[in-house]
Amino acid sequence: MRDSSANGMSVTEIHSGDEAHLSRVLEVTPEGMVVSRSPALTNLGRHVWLELGLPADAGGGLVRILAEVVGRGPQITRFRFKHVWPRDRATCRRLVSEAKAA
């Protein structure tokens, strides 16, 4: 599937109860996303929670996704979605579709 632009979306990477970082979403697909890598030194494990703030026209609120780190470079981190709560799955699919259309 073709990657899509995320049009300025941001995501909070939650590494632990004490560590979280705000990153810019660069690409998003139904399978995962690529984000700009935080300049901070992070204790990045194999899995993180990703928290997306939804735009007002998508109903607002937050979507939380469990993701696996599948790649990391000097400027980016690549995640594969492991778990999306059922009520958030349809919202995520719609956001991906809208990002592709933009």
CATH assignment, 4-101: 2.40.10.220
Q: Which run of H or of E encompasses 92?
A: helix 86-101
Structure confidence by residue, pLDDT tens digits, 28-41:
888 899 999 766 56
Please state the domain extents for the chain: 4-101
Torsion of CA 32, 25, 78, 88, to 10 degrees: -30
Nearest to 16 by CA among 39, 46, 49: 49
pTM (2 decimals)?
0.76
pLDDT tens, N- to C-terminus, the chain (102 residues): 334 445 567 889 888 888 888 889 898 888 899 999 766 566 678 899 999 877 666 667 788 899 999 998 888 899 999 998 887 877 777 766 666 666
